[in-house]
Chains A and B, each alone.
Chain A
Amino acid sequence: MSPNIRVLRDIKARHGVNANEIARRAYLYVARNASLPASVRYQAQLQLNTFGRYTRPTTVKNRCAESGKGRGIMSEFALSRFQFRLKARAGELPGVHKASW
């Protein structure tokens, strides 16, 4: 199934985070370092604010790789709970089988 726009946006965010992570960490270090002068920390914070929306790790959300749903995701399988059930019953998830005792 082709990914919907929300999944595409999430992929974009993931690549943006990966590309800008080191620079953002460096600015974060300066901005949060209380032993540095306040003006330097302020400048670093202003630089942090110039980064785009899709460079922040909080914009990334684990979505269902099959259906694109954003809720009820089992991160280990990257599937929503219903898609997980369908796939598990079809035997497409190695090592997963219905409990019975």
Chain B
Amino acid sequence: MATIAASRIAALNRLRCSIFQTSYNPQSIRTGAKYLRARLKGPSMINYYPPEVNMATFVKGFPDEGFVDLDEEQRLQDVIDKKKRGKGAPKKAKTPEESRRNKKRR
């Protein structure tokens, strides 16, 4: 059986690549093409969870229809009532020195 020169096989592969429009890469150098070729996963990822339908989404979606989220109204009223009784959330620290977290550690 006659042996075929390596240069002949390389030339054949180069020709094959030009015919079938693939890239000729005899050393198998990593080109990173697989990151471009792979399909984008993001569009299907964001559709995994079914959309949540509750009163808040209606109020947000149709602001002119006059929907009222009773639970949210009650929560806001409770916050106002608590503030009146001096039971509201503490003031936010403006600087790191004011932070309550630092005081606890000392």
Contact = CB atoms under 8 A, between A and B. Distances in A.
Contacts of A2: 52, 54
CB-CB nearest 8 A-B residue pairs: A18-B42, A32-B32, A33-B32, A29-B32, A28-B35, A21-B42, A34-B30, A14-B45
Contacts of B33: 29
Size bracket, chain B contacts: 10 to 19
B46 A18 contact: yes
Contacts, number: 58
Interface residues of A, number: 26
A22 B35 CA distance: 10
Interface string A6-29: 010011001101110110010011
Interface in B46-61: 46, 48-50, 52, 54
B94 to A, nearest CB: 26
5 contacts: A18-B42, A22-B40, A33-B32, A34-B32, A78-B48
Contact of B35 (A10, A25, A62): A25
Given A2-B52, A30-B32, 12 more contacts: A11-B49, A14-B48, A17-B42, A18-B46, A21-B42, A25-B40, A28-B35, A29-B32, A29-B33, A29-B36, A34-B30, A57-B45
A49 interface: no
A35 B31 contact: yes
B2 interface: no
A10 B30 CA distance: 33
**Majority DSSP secondary structure for residues of A touching B:** helix
A15 B45 CA distance: 8
B43 interface: yes
Nearest to A3: B52
Contacts of A21: 40-42
Contacts of B70: none
A88 interface: no
